Structure 1
Amino acid sequence: MNGAMKTQEISKSIMSDASRRIEKLREGKYIAGDFGLEIVKPPWFDEAKFTRGQKLSKDNLVCVFLADLLFLLTVFSSPRILRTLILTGKSSCPFTALNRYVATIRAVVSWHNGDIWNPEDLAHKFLRHVMTSHKSLYTIANFQRKEEVDRIEVEENPMVQITGMYKKIRASNEEQSRSTKCDGNAKNTNHITPKMKIQPDFDQAKERPRTSSNVQASIKKHNFSLSNDEFTPSKDTARKRSQQDHNPNFSSNYNQVPSSRNSDSKMSESVRSDKSPPKVDESIPNHNIPYVSQWDLLTVQYAFIASIVAHPEAFGAWNLPDEDVDGFIYYWKVLGFFLGIREEFNLCSGDLEQTRALILAFEQEVILPAFEEVDHNFEHMSLALMGGINMMVPLVNYPSALMYLLTALGADTATIYKSLTLREKAIYHFLNCVTYSCRVRLIRNMFSSLLEICLDLIEGHGPWWWPRILAPKNTISPRVP
């Protein structure tokens, strides 16, 4: 069931509330993530709901894996998140991408299966490792290498050949726009809304460096609503931050969104071990919107929850009880809290219907428009990801994965489908067959077991009975935090 059909099932009032909430969520662009937390149960913790969410994830492992993999492309569509990933240098070629995302898969699976509250458990160690990594990335991207990340471009790699698939998305938009103009009474389908192009073509993008002035001028000219801009550090901002760090009584005008936390969330402040990074001063011109902001973190959270909450059948999770999905939402509310997302920016702070409406609205207002502006950096990182995963799970490639994802989100992908090769179309339909066959629990469990075997094989310790001829040629070293 695609996004358009799901939206029709939700009342207009709830969808309207979701759209208004997204406008408040956008304010999270100006607030850094909260990285000073101890992993202890907050006062509002509900053991039963958390356990239900864990169980749903465990029982639908292959569905969650497929969804998390494809929804990583939505994370790549955010320019600011993409720059931080490029900065790390750990995702730009298939082999490094494989290392990075197998470690991510291992971490998420450990949270599904383990005890995050036990310091000796692998789940706790992985959660602590991810929290530390986010805090380190925040410091590097915003203070140590700020000017570099503002203008960073992915380096060419012979293992990654740009295909121009991102241009086909634009072609699909332009064709849909012409079709709509020719038929004045045409039905307003749920496609990626056509917009004027801001990004240059691939060849031009490689030659022309990005600057704050030309990007912001384009944004102003075209009334572009997403944060695709770049900013230079402000000396006044740095001075005020330094004063605040060294003087606890220093009073500044750092921007803080009016808090809507309930009494439970206020109580949870007691588990914070140190102060949050400084906020942005709105009064200073060209203020520094932080990397690894609340907006960035909730965008990543969206990628982990959208499939189960809003598009379960499209990713093989059939006939999920509402109570279990509600537990899944709560499960990711807790994980999001520890990964740095404040209550007012946590996508999982509402009930099932509210969260589903919020996700669908987020897709229509943020995710799909972002795909209109993707460039060669997006495509390079996507190709590296899919190339790496293909070493572990064959029959997955970038064009087919992108086609499947956009179709699940309700986008009009007719033009993109026509541009696929015969092999890419076959893989796309194979993915449809896999997710449909997961209606049968036995098949779903079989795929989940095969996935765990693939993870073991790529780390060089598969089962003894597995035929060597079917083992991957390249293996990686397991990462244990």
Structure 2
Amino acid sequence: MCDLDELKDGCTENSAPSGLPPSAPPWLDVEKFNRGRKFFQEYLCSNFLAMFTSLVGGLSVINLLEPLVFTKASDDPKKSLKRYFSTFHHVTCWHYGNVWDSESDAYQSVIYVRNIHNKVAKQMNSSQQPERLYFSQYDMALVQCGFMGCIVLYPEYFGVPFNQQQIDDYVYFWKGMGYLLGISDKYNICNGGYSCAREKCKGIEERVLIPALNNPPKDFLPMAEAFIGGANLPWKFKLLSFVSVLAFGLEAMGEPRPKLGLSDTLRLYFLKTVVVLVRYSAFFRRRINRAMEMMMGCSKMT
């Protein structure tokens, strides 16, 4: 089933467990799961750019924004750099390690993330609005879409040649990760394979993300600016801007982009140039992927 409305039923169901992840599910196809990992590694830069772009837009969605505001761990550039570098490091660890091996760093990373989610969920559910369940199954499904949705919907825009089998393998990887992070099969948007995931991601885009961008909550802009400011810190200059990244994402969705000045237009075309090089130059893709692997402390999957 690909009915987006059923996801909203998850608003009243908790999905922030702590402790050890569940054992491997009976439906797990390890070879297919590993092919999904290899797809991420082959197109590491594209996947990171997609997640980065998705995060900027996703901050307009109140379900995703509220926990970030509550924790106060990413409300200025320095804290934001630390917070999101940690997030991307965990995500990369899952793709490069064996999350099903209890002795692996990837498995320990899953435990850490589950415990953090559980801790923040308990704090928010005890101190915030009593009628609202934080870190619900629905919230986690939106987060899952944020990590893989752009690549599922717009692979070529982010420099990935369209290959349905490869993307289906990647969807399967996120089905497994959703399971480990506490999303039940009923609300796991990757549970039905590529076609179903694409339909649900498109539904989330049209019915959740775009309306949120058109009428964002008050904390959206300062949190997004802090995120972009943090991303610029390692460069010592303003490589990116909030409006240029937002324009990049809106263009992917076929939505009107904001009017840009010269500097932001150049930043937008910088992103587009990176995509073209990744898409058409295997040499460039390998070099930038390797640089990112070194930054994240990754080693190639065997």
Query: So what's the TM-score if we normalise by structure 1?
Result: 0.59
Change in 2 beyond 3 A, CA 1:295/1:114: same
Are 2:266 and 1:422 equivalent residues in the alignment?
no
Aligned with 1:438: secondary structure? helix
Q: Which residue of structure 1 lines up, in the alignment, with residue 93 of structure 2? A: 110
Are 2:244 and 1:400 equivalent residues in the alignment?
yes
TM alignment of 1:240-319, pairs within 5 A: 288-319=131-162
Are 2:62 and 1:79 equivalent residues in the alignment?
yes
Q: CA deviation at 1:453?
A: 4.4
Contact 1:294/1:341 (CA < 8 Å) preserved in 2? yes
Q: Which residue of structure 2 lines up, in the alignment, with residue 28 of structure 1? A: 10
Q: Which residue of structure 1 lines up, in the alignment, with residue 288 of structure 2? A: 447
Q: Which residue of structure 1 lines up, in the alignment, with residue 28 of structure 2? A: 45
Q: Which residue of structure 2 lines up, in the alignment, with residue 437 of structure 1? A: 277
Aligned with 1:81: secondary structure? helix
State the one-letter code of the partner of 2:148.
I
Could you list the per-position Cα deviations for residues 235-286 of structure 1 after superposition, in whole angstroms to 9, with x for gaps in the alignment?
xxxxxxxxxxxxxxxxxxxxxxxxxxxxxxxxxxxxxxxxxxxxxxxxxxxx
State the one-letter code of the partner of 1:297.
M
Query: So what's the TM-score if we normalise by structure 2?
Result: 0.92
- Distance in 2, Cα, partners of 1:24 & 1:73: 26
- Distance in 1, Cα, partners of 2:122 & 2:75: 21
Change in 2 beyond 3 A, CA 1:34/1:44: farther
Are 2:115 and 1:132 equivalent residues in the alignment?
yes
Q: CA deviation at 1:88?
A: 0.7
State the one-letter code of the partner of 2:147.
F
Q: CA deviation at 1:35?
A: 1.3
Change in 2 beyond 3 A, CA 1:326/1:306: same
Q: CA deviation at 1:352?
A: 1.5
- Distance in 2, Cα, partners of 1:39 & 1:446: 37
Q: CA deviation at 1:356?
A: 1.3
Q: CA deviation at 1:63?
A: 0.8
Which among 56, 79, 98 is matched to residue 39 of structure 2?
56
- Distance in 1, Cα, partners of 2:28 & 2:291: 34
- Identity across aligned pairs (percent)? 30
Contact 2:125/2:133 (CA < 8 Å) preserved in 1? yes
Change in 2 beyond 3 A, CA 1:294/1:333: same
Change in 2 beyond 3 A, CA 1:109/1:49: same
Greater helix content:
2
Q: CA deviation at 1:137?
A: 1.0
- Distance in 2, Cα, partners of 1:426 & 1:38: 45
Q: Which residue of structure 1 lines up, in the alignment, with residue 300 of structure 2? A: none
Which among 314, 325, 331 is matched to residue 173 of structure 2?
331
Contact 2:14/2:137 (CA < 8 Å) preserved in 1? yes
Aligned with 1:344: secondary structure? coil
How many equivalent pairs are there? 293
State the one-letter code of the partner of 1:102.
F
Aligned with 1:345: secondary structure? coil
- Distance in 2, Cα, partners of 1:428 & 1:455: 25
Q: CA deviation at 1:27?
A: 1.5
Q: Which residue of structure 2 lines up, in the alignment, with residue 273 of structure 1? A: none
Could you list the per-position Cα deviations for residues 374-413 of structure 1 after superposition, in whole angstroms to 9, with x for gaps in the alignment?
1441011101111111123662221100110111112122
Change in 2 beyond 3 A, CA 1:392/1:316: farther
Contact 1:392/1:454 (CA < 8 Å) preserved in 2? no
Q: Which residue of structure 2 lines up, in the alignment, with residue 247 of structure 1? A: none
Change in 2 beyond 3 A, CA 1:104/1:128: same
Could you list the per-position Cα deviations for residues 89-123 of structure 1 after superposition, in whole angstroms to 9, with x for gaps in the alignment?
11000000100111111111111111112233211
Could you list the per-position Cα deviations for residues 97-154 of structure 1 after superposition, in whole angstroms to 9, with x for gaps in the alignment?
10011111111111111111223321111111001111111100001x22xxxxxxxx
> CA RMSD of the aligned region, Å?
1.7
Structure 1 unmatched runs, 5+: 1-16, 147-231, 234-287, 457-481
- Distance in 1, Cα, partners of 2:230 & 2:120: 23
